[in-house]
Structure 1
């Protein structure tokens, strides 16, 4: 991969957690990252885990750093959000270790679906992913593309 291109997270992969709650990340997604790169796994309100790579983490960091200390509700939200968020990195075998809280939030017990969304990737239960596919298929697919300007 060219050093000038940002990593791209595309495709769909089905993997199972091992007995230590580790999940193998596709090699295509690991390729552009070094061993020191830190990702953030966040609970998404729609019931899945969103995994932000370093570039997206930096954007989030910049937004949070710009928040006024006097914004009490905003500060409370940030504290709650990051209390549920986990820093992670790839081990030597290309796995990430997910905490019990994130797995419970997403309802993941064993099987997981990893789905790229270009700038980040998401981790779903197979059932939740099927619902996403159903909502965005057929005529809805074209309507959504037009709404997004794609």
Structure 2
């Protein structure tokens, strides 16, 4: 599970180092999925948790859920740690969340959030 928060920087190639306390959980469950959300940050799930969400989403048929699927799934991307324990944040998601150099990773049990430092300071 993901807990705690920490400050990080995005390198010039849009990569961020994953904190060691998150790595074991990520490596135990393999790749993950990164999505945008209504909070103005990014959510990152390990694949096992993401599959549970997908299962719930697929069964929903309302107009609201179709819009929800378009927004969240249309911007979703697979993410994985490289050999230096970094993940690449795609430019589209980086722009959506207003991520520049300084960011905050926040553990929220079944996923972690990626916030711009400025938005995080305003959110608190």
5+ unaligned residues in a row in structure 1: which ranges? 1-7, 134-150
5+ unaligned residues in a row in structure 2: which ranges? none
On the 8 A contact 1:36/1:89 being kept in 2, the answer is no
Secondary structure (helix, strand or coil) at the match of 2:39 reads coil
Q: Find the partner of 1:121 among 112, 117, 122.
A: 112
Shift of 1:47: 0.6
Q: Find the partner of 1:29 among 22, 34, 39.
A: 22
Secondary structure (helix, strand or coil) at the match of 2:34 reads strand
Q: Higher strand share goes to which structure?
A: 2
Structure whose alpha-carbon radius of gyration is higher: 1
The runs of at least 4 consecutive aligned structure 1 residues that moved more than 4 Å come to: none
Q: Find the partner of 1:59 among 19, 27, 52.
A: 52
Q: How many positions carry a matched residue from both structures? A: 124
Q: RMSD of the alignment, in Å?
A: 1.9
TM-score normalized by the length of structure 2: 0.87
Higher RCO (CA 8 Å, separation ≥ 6 residues): 2
TM-score normalized by the length of structure 1: 0.74
**Alignment map for 1:46-125 (pairs within 5 Å):** 46-68=39-61, 71=62, 74-125=65-116
